[in-house]
Chains A and B, each alone.
Chain A
Amino acid sequence: MADLKALSEFLQKGKAKEVKELTQQAVDEGLGPQEILEGGLMAGMDVIGKKFKNNEVFVPEVLIAARAMNAGMEVLKPLLADAGVKARGTVVIGTVKGDLHDIGKNLVAMMMEGKGLTVVDLGTDVPAEKFVEAVNANNAQIVACSALLTTTMKEMEQVVKAFQDAGTRDQVKVMVGGAPVTDSFCSSIGADVYSPDAASAAEAAVELCDA
């Protein structure tokens, strides 16, 4: 009998090969893809997210866990699609124009995927209008902007403005984060949510999508 708890634990340790095998075993034994996803893979990423937030695990452990999650998802993705399982929501994410830092943004994207959200990653150095285009093209509910520099964080205001100019500001929630960003900065530029770390960002995104 496939053990979802063991699957979660292998994922937390970043054991990609074992995660893939156990996921396949669970499928073979007739467990539903959504059950495996939520009870095994997402449960494991949830633990990693909480530990990351509490400074118990760090970037290497998160990246290696996310790699294991992807190994499991390779097995599950076609089955989830066949079963008509929909994502909890869609997030467009990117590091703002002028900023090439992507570690933080990647961690947020991984944590969001780990929560069952579809993530459209625009990469780094993303101009404000690209965020608007991608939100429209993907029917995203959320746009998440990252900046590591005090000089580029100001670009986040341009993203908010681009949605206002496009007349779609009320259809999307703007999330912001990155080392220099604060809650008061978030309010001052008219964004919706500031998150101090990747796990909190993923939780906030799920709340926004469920609301």
Chain B
Amino acid sequence: MTGKERIAAVLCGRETDKIPWLPFAGVHAGKLAGFNAREVSTDPDKLLKSLLEVHRIYKPDGQPVMFDLQIEAEILGCDLVWSDSGPPTVSSHPLADTQEIPDRIPASHEGRLGLELEAMKAMKQQVGAETALYGLCCGPFTLASHLRGTNIFMDMVLDPEYVNQLLAYTCRVSMQMADYFIDAGMDVVAVVDPLISQISPDHFGEFMEEPFAQLFAHIRKQGAFSSFFVCGNATMNIEPMCRTAPDSISVDENVDLAAAKQITDRYDITIGGNIPLTTVMLYGNQQDNMKSTVDLIDSVTPGRLIVAPGCDMPYDVPIENTLAIEQAVHETETVRTMVENYQSSEIEFTGTLPDYGNLQRPLIEVFTLDSATCAACTYMMAAAEEVKVFLEDSIDVVEYKYTLPENIARCREMGIKQLPSIYINGRLAYSSIIPSREELVQRIKEAQS
């Protein structure tokens, strides 16, 4: 199955050959191509280059084009504060001191929407045949809060009719965004509304059920799939969210995925989630990420599951951690064994390390998760093999796959933390980032001098 087929099948409740994988690489995409968050949020070429790197390295079944909930708000008059390491933040709320209901709907060329739609079309053309592409719009409630500020929470109690009207407007904006995204070739429209976790199920029923149900029905009518993304502890709202009938729901680590899935299963809705962003993806190591993913898969009922980060990935998530998750999702049984072997204290290194100080010729050691299945590992191994051919066999290249216990022991012995990585004459040269032929040749020369 292609990734696109996998996503389509899981969203329809059909069986898949592997669990689908949906990395939320928003501004993090830039890290893979050497661009900062602001660059990938504003520069079409840098954005596309970064997205293609995500596609190449992380092997996504589904891929979001941008994860930026501020695009609509910016067009509608909110000021933004920019960061090099995260998406922009809304800093002013045009409706903070007025209860007028706007009627302006963003045009497709306004603000950064043109950039987003162009990136969608380009991605559709380049990878859309095999990968399900996700267009993410800001959910009506979060958009309303961008426009109104935190007063919206008080309004829900003090002036419910105003909130209903404002949400009817922001819902129209979301519908228009969905139409743009579907026209640009998006397979799934994800309505991202983190603030849903901050209100009660009663308030959800009173204010959100109707606009969200309309929005998901609208998306379905256009022939696309829908998803309802929420962040924070939305446990109490999972069932109310199901009643709005999206094709899938995505939650972060504040929600117990197994318990939430019991609910979504009853509604025939697919659930996505929820690898912890900070503790595991940002600050954990590769083994933590493998274990967390395998444990997550084991914790839930089979089927109707998409494995994804809890929410938009922090810019600085180590690339190797995401690779580990991809492996654990797509090669679950192999990775389960890796994790068991890694945790076992019985595996000791019994071989001998090369005498790195007295090598006859350069030694390139490539440590991989498994070059047969992990994309980055394949490229890393290929880079070493290519240089070997280029240098006319004057170097030695050896691969150590992490799938074998003795190689895990070797990694421990050498203190190797990230896979894939290239060691030249026993010293770390590259980890996760795949070098070009010129770079690698240069490093080998430096190591010999």
Q: Do A and B bind each other?
A: yes
Residues on A lying within 8 angstroms of B by beta carbon are 14, 55, 57-61, 63-64, 67, 98-103, 106, 125, 149-153, 179-182, 184-185
Pairwise interchain contact A149-B279, C-beta atoms closer than 8 A: no
Beyond the given A14-B157, A58-B200, A152-B86, please list 6 additional residue pairs across the A-B interface where CB-CB is below 8 A.
Answer: A55-B236, A60-B156, A60-B199, A103-B150, A151-B83, A151-B316
A62 to chain B, nearest CB (A): 9
A60-B203, A98-B83 known; A106 vs B278 contact (CB < 8 Å): no
A55 CB contact (under 8 Å) in B91, B157, B235, B314: B235
The 6 closest A-B pairs by CB, nearest first: A150-B314, A59-B198, A60-B153, A180-B278, A151-B85, A151-B86
Contact with B277, one of A59, A61, A150, A185 (Cβ below 8 angstroms): A150
Count of chain B residues with a beta carbon within 8 Å of a chain A beta carbon: 30
**Which chain B residues (328-382) contact chain A, with CB distance < 8 Å?**
none
The answer to whether A63 and B203 have CB atoms under 8 Å apart is no
Q: Given that A55-B233, A58-B198, A101-B89 are known contacts, is A185 also in contact with B154, CB under 8 Å in the complex?
A: no
CB-defined A-B contacts under 8 Å, sample of 13: A57-B200, A58-B199, A59-B153, A60-B154, A63-B154, A100-B90, A103-B150, A103-B153, A150-B282, A151-B86, A151-B314, A180-B278, A180-B314
Could you give, for residues 92-105 of chain B, a 1 whenever the CB lies within 8 Å of some chain A CB and a 0 otherwise? 00000000000000
Name B199's contact: one of A59, A180, A182 (CB within 8 Å).
A59
Cβ of B81 under 8 Å from chain A: yes
Q: Chain A residues with Cβ under 8 A from B198's Cβ? A: 58-59, 103
Q: Does B279 lie within 8 Å of A64, measured CB to CB?
A: no
Is residue B21 contacting chain A, with contact meaning CB distance below 8 A? Answer: no
Complex CA–CA separation, A60 to B231 (angstroms): 17
List A contacts of B157 (CB < 8 A).
Answer: 14, 60-61, 64
Q: Are B278 and A182 in contact (CB under 8 A)?
A: yes
- Across-interface contacts of A184 in B (CB, < 8 A): 279
Expressed in whole angstroms, the minimum distance between the Cβ of A151 and any Cβ of chain B is: 4
Contact call A149/B86, Cβ cutoff below 8 A: yes
By a beta-carbon cutoff of 8 Å, the part of chain B in contact with chain A is 81, 83, 85-86, 89-91, 150, 153-154, 156-158, 198-200, 203, 231-233, 235-236, 277-279, 282-283, 314-316
Residues on A with C-beta less than 8 A from B233 are 55
Chain A residues within an 8 Å CB radius of B232: 179
CB of B232 to closest CB in A, whole Å: 7
Cα A80 to Cα B232 in complex, Å, equals 39
Q: Are A100 and B81 in contact (CB under 8 A)?
A: yes
Q: How far is the CB of A48 from chain B (nearest CB, A)?
A: 13
Chain B neighbourhood of A67, CB < 8 A? 154
Most B-side CB within 10 Å, residue of A125, A150, A179: A150
Q: Which chain A residues border B283 with CB–CB below 8 Å?
A: 185
B150 CB contact (under 8 Å) in A14, A99, A102, A179: A102
The minimal Cβ–Cβ distance linking A200 to chain B, given in whole angstroms, is: 14
Q: Which B-chain residue is minimally distant from A152 (CB atoms)? A: B86
Q: Report Cα–Cα, A61/B90, bound state, in Å.
A: 24
Q: Name the residue of chain B whose CB is nearest to the CB of A67.
A: B154
User: Chain B: which residue is nearest A66 at the CB level?
Assistant: B154
Q: CA–CA, A58 to B235, complex, Å?
A: 12
Q: When chains A and B are docked, how far (Å) is the Cα of A179 from the Cα of B234?
A: 13
Contact across chains for A64 and B282 when beta carbons are under 8 A apart: no
Nearest-CB residue, chain A, relative to B279:
A182
